[in-house]
A and B are shown apart, each in its own frame.
Chain A
Amino acid sequence: MENQNTAPVMAKQTYIDFKNVKVNDDIVLSLEEAGKTVDAIKRAEKVSHIIMTIFTYIFILALALVVVFPFYWMIITSLKQNDEIRAAQQTFFPTIVMWSNYTHVFQVFDFVTYMKNTVVVAIFSTIGTLLTTILAAFAFARLRFKGKESVFAIFLMTMMIPGEMMVITNYITVASFGWVGENQTLMDAYLAMIVPFWISVFYIYLLRQNFKQIPNELYLAAKVDGKSDWSYLWKVMVPLASPTLISITILKFMGTWNSYVWPNLVTSKSEYRLISNGLRGSAFVDIDMGITFYGYQTAATMLVTVPLFLLFIFFRKYIMKGVGRAGIKG
């Protein structure tokens, strides 16, 4: 525009600054890349991309290091001598590998008993939960009866209540069943740790969603073949929903492995307790000196952590999928 206007006046030649084209006083078009060749622009983009990638990797790797560090420290501390752990000069690898820490822990820390209790409680609370969850999810997903929606709404609302509210009264309830008290037997302790956990509203919700995805045509086909609801549920629906059921099983196991408060509350003897209680209650303390033997203590934490890791290695897919949908431990 400007150029055209001024063109006739040859004496007063103006040049357009292509980098900053002024349209009017308010708008200035700025072309940063003007004057550069296409190759140069591509190269610049590539360089900035590489720099960006390097920074991303540095960021990610640094944080990954922070995440892994406690595990690394757990492993090496469990293999160190007590003097080395408390030394002013910290070492990042044990100077003498002390496997004897583990043999000592096996003598002092009754790992086998706690392990046995945990596995028993985990198996029976999982079986109970799976049964109740499958039956309820089937009723909510498939059957038709009056009041279904309102019952389901009430169930969903109970998910908002923090579990801590339940603990107080549930403690009183299991005590009134005679499962907690002075003359508690191992069976009583198991019942108190298992029965209240036979219910998980969230898993019912999860499985109901899964059941609903199974096409109606299958149900109709089963009906044509003269199958009852009951055999349709166990022969068709349960096998089809098995990935969700496996996820629920693993998460339930992990939940029992991690449960601390309730077993601590309802058991009267330490040999009835579960692995977390055993670990936190274990005393690797020199009473005369008042110091903790971190080597032994960390070896014990290793014993508690490794089984979970093994579970994770074998069922990584189910755990990550299940957690992604469930979002809760246990």
Chain B
Amino acid sequence: MGISSLFKKKSLTEQPPTLGVNELFAEERPQYEEGYDKEKDVIIRMVGKKSDKAYQTRGIEDVGAKNNWKGWLYLAPVIILVAVFLIYPLVNTIFIAFTSNYKYASGEFDGLTLTNFTYILGLTASSTGAVEKDFVNYALPNTFLVVIITVPVSTMLSLLIAVALNSIKWFQKILQTIFFLPYVTNTIAVGMVFSVIFDKSGVINFLFGTETTWIYGADRWTAMVPLMLYIVWGSIPFKILVLLSGLQGIDKQYYQAAQIDAAPKSKVLFKITVPLLSPQILYLLITSFIGAWKEYTAVVGLFNGPGTLGKSSTDKNMLTVVYYVYDNLQTNTSSAAAAAVLLFVIILVFTALQFWASKKRVHY
């Protein structure tokens, strides 16, 4: 109350005089107006209408209105870095996507064109007559499959685990730490371990009595299984962490009310827990959705190359969109840029859609 009550004087003087102590000393108080007080070097902001009985002040907001240049000085290093490594690349990459035969070493190109996009989509041939099939046949469908399978599966699994973890008493902390472990790993390193586990003479085939080729030389759709499993395995720790902290923030009264009404467990989950967790779930859906569209390191870790035959594979059947970008970065910069722009647009559109769709669904 201390400081802010000081500023309430104006409205008080307008009221009919009473014999309160405050009113007796009201005259002696300094007259504050909204704005900058030179004497005290403070900014005063009034919140609310002046006609209100006692409009509140937000107190002292800040000093240093005169130090206009100082803020920019503090920001200077960041602004330079953002301009050079974030804003310029965005503009320039979009530009490269519309140039033909951009050479990254010299920066030369043969004029502007729209064919990069049609080329990677396999609609037009390049100037040398080559037709690009990898992007449409592999990169795009593979990534799409990863997105529509791993995002819902890992989110639902994490929700179940988080709810279960939240409901138990013994070993809760230890189990919580165990489920966090996949986060503190090197994606490449554990990917290599997964490729050992899924080896033809590995433990998965041994346990299930199968002789499937999962990794090296595998069929594309079979190889998707270890890839998806690995991505889900790697993405649940973060989701569980977020959902658990969300669960712990839910007011216990909701559950007590449900208990009095003898609501069944499933109803409690879907009518109380999930709606109250919806902000967290939305956040996770959007972030993991974007993450899944950018999948790359899991493929490198598992397959050591763009295809199931490793680095040397000519059949790039495990390509993802980002893999395609990196694969073509030096050899065909214009196509790589076009693919990156396409990825950017896809992520933007889907994120906007997700926001729009869940606007009414999310219970905040």
With A67-B178, A164-B340, A260-B300 given, is the CB distance from A145 to B84 under 8 Å? no
Stretch at the interface among B18-26, B114-122, B341-349: B341-349
Contact with A along B181-201 (1 / 0, CB 8 A): 111111111101110110101
CA distance A146 to B67 in the complex (A): 10
Q: In the complex, are the beta carbons of B186 and A167 less than 8 A apart?
A: no
Which residue, A52, A170, A309, has most C-beta atoms of chain B within 10 A?
A170
Q: State the CA gap A184–B64 with chains docked (Å).
A: 46
**A201 CB contacts on chain B under 8 angstroms:** 82, 86
Q: Do most interface residues of chain A lie in helix, strand or loop, or is the interface mixed? A: helix
**Which of the listed residues B61, B186, B343 has the most CB atoms from chain A within 10 Å of its own CB?**
B186
Could you say which residues of chain B place their CB within 8 Å of the CB of A258? Answer: 186-188, 297
Is B297 a contact of A168 with CB atoms below 8 Å?
no
Knowing A59-B160, A143-B62, A144-B65, say if A165 contacts B105 (CB, 8 Å).
Answer: no
Instruction: Given A70-B194, A74-B193, A168-B89, verify A204-B62 contact (CB < 8 Å).
Output: no
User: Is B93 within 8 A of A67, CB to CB?
Assistant: no
Chain B CB within 8 A of A158 CB: yes
A265 CB within 8 Å of chain B: yes
Size bracket, chain B contacts: 35 or more
> What's the Cα separation between A316 and B183 when bound, in Å?
12
Contact B179 A67 (CB under 8 A): yes
Q: A136-B75, A168-B93, A276-B188 are in contact. Are A144 and B43 (CB under 8 A)?
A: yes
Q: Please state if A196 and B85 are interface contacts (CB–CB under 8 Å).
A: yes
A73–B196 touching, CB < 8 Å: yes
Neighbouring B residues of A279 by C-beta, 8 Å? 186, 188-189, 192
A residues 151-194 touching B (CB-CB < 8 Å): 151, 154-155, 158, 160-173, 175-176
Q: How far is the CA of A146 from the CA of B68 in the complex (A)?
A: 7
Give the CA-CA distance A1 to B180 in the complex, in Å: 62
Q: Quick check: is B46 within 8 A (CB to CB) of the other chain? A: no
Measured in the bound complex, the distance between the Cα atoms of B84 and A172 in whole Å is 11
Min C-beta distance of B116 to chain A, whole Å = 12
Q: Mark B226-262, 1 if CB is under 8 A from A, else 0.
A: 0000000100101001100100000000000000000
Residues of B within 8 A of A124 (CB): none
Which residue of chain B lies nearest to A169 when distances are taken between CB atoms in the complex? B89
Chain B positions within 8 Å of A209 at CB level: none
- Cα distance, A163 to B70, chains bound together (Å): 31
Beta-carbon contacts under 8 Å, A36-58 to B: 52-53, 56-57
Known: A70-B193, A139-B71. A320 touches B185 (CB 8 A): no
In the complex, whether B331 has a CB less than 8 A from a CB of chain A is no
> A323, B241: Cβ atoms under 8 Å?
yes
Question: Which residues, 310 to 332 on B, are CB-close (under 8 Å) to A?
Answer: 322, 325-326, 329
Within 8 A of A (CB), among B78-128: 78-79, 81-82, 84-90, 92-93, 96, 104-105, 107
CB <8 Å contact, B89 and A294: no
Task: Report the separation of the CA atoms of residues A179 and B161 in the bound assembly, to the nearest whole angstrom.
Answer: 47
Which A residue's beta carbon lies closest to that of B96?
A: A168
Given A165-B344, A308-B184: A64 and B70 interface contact (C-beta under 8 Å): no
Chain B, range 287-307, C-beta contacts under 8 Å to A: 287, 290, 293-294, 296-297, 300-301, 304
Taking CB as reference atom, which chain A residue is nearest B287? A327
Q: B322: which A residues are within 8 A, CB to CB?
A: 164
Residues of the A chain whose Cβ atoms lie less than 8 Å from the Cβ of B347:
160, 162
Pick the contact of B233 from A67, A216, A316, A323 — CB < 8 Å? A67
Total of A-B residue pairs, C-beta within 8 Å = 263
In the complex, what's the smallest C-beta–C-beta distance from B39 to chain A, in angstroms? 14
Residues of B within 8 A of A220 (CB): 60
A residues less than 8 Å from B60 (CB atoms) = 216, 220
- Give the residue of B63, B93, B193, B207 whose beta carbon is less than 8 angstroms from that of A165: B93
B224 within 8 A of A: no
Q: Does B333 contact A (CB under 8 A)?
A: yes
> A60 touching B89 by the CB < 8 A rule?
no
Kindly identify, within residues 118 to 165 of chain A, every residue whose CB is under 8 Å from any CB belonging to chain B: 131-133, 135-136, 138-140, 142-146, 148, 151, 154-155, 158, 160-165
Q: Chain A CB within 10 Å — which of B43, B78, B197, B333 has the most?
A: B78
Bound: A276/B329 CA distance, A: 20
Question: Which A residues between 80 and 108 are near B, CB-CB below 8 angstroms?
Answer: 85-90
Cα separation A175 to B75 with both chains bound (whole Å): 26
Q: Cβ of A265 and Cβ of B326 under 8 Å apart?
A: yes
A59–B1 Cα gap in the complex (Å)?
53
What residues on B are CB-neighbors of A311 within 8 Å?
Answer: 184
Q: How far is the CA of A204 from the CA of B194 in the complex (A)?
A: 36
Measured CB to CB, the closest approach of chain B to A182, in angstroms, equals 11
Knowing A166-B85, A216-B59, A260-B300 touch, does A324 contact B336 (C-beta < 8 A)? no
**How near does chain B come to A143, taking the closest CB pair, in angstroms?**
4
- Asked if residues A73 and B179 are in contact (CB atoms below 8 Å), the reply is no
Task: Identify which of A148, A165, A175 contacts B104 (C-beta below 8 A).
Answer: A175
B203 on interface, CB distance cutoff 8 Å: yes
Name B96's contact: one of A169, A275, A327 (CB within 8 Å): A169
Known: A148-B71, A176-B107. 16 other contacts (CB 8 A): A52-B265, A73-B193, A73-B197, A74-B193, A88-B201, A144-B61, A145-B69, A173-B85, A199-B86, A220-B60, A223-B63, A254-B184, A260-B188, A276-B188, A312-B184, A323-B241
24 residue pairs of the A-B complex, CB under 8 angstroms, read: A70-B190, A70-B197, A136-B75, A136-B78, A138-B74, A139-B72, A144-B71, A151-B79, A155-B78, A165-B89, A165-B341, A166-B90, A168-B93, A169-B93, A169-B96, A170-B89, A172-B107, A216-B61, A260-B187, A279-B188, A297-B196, A301-B189, A316-B177, A324-B245
- Give residues in B with beta carbon < 8 Å to A: 41, 43, 59-65, 67-72, 74-75, 77-79, 81-82, 84-90, 92-93, 96, 104-105, 107, 157, 160-161, 164-165, 167-168, 175, 177-190, 192-194, 196-197, 199, 201-203, 206-207, 233, 236, 238, 241-242, 245, 265, 287, 290, 293-294, 296-297, 300-301, 304, 322, 325-326, 329, 333, 336-337, 340-341, 343-344, 347-348, 351
* Top-8 shortest CB links A-B: A145-B71, A169-B89, A139-B74, A90-B206, A301-B189, A143-B71, A199-B81, A136-B78
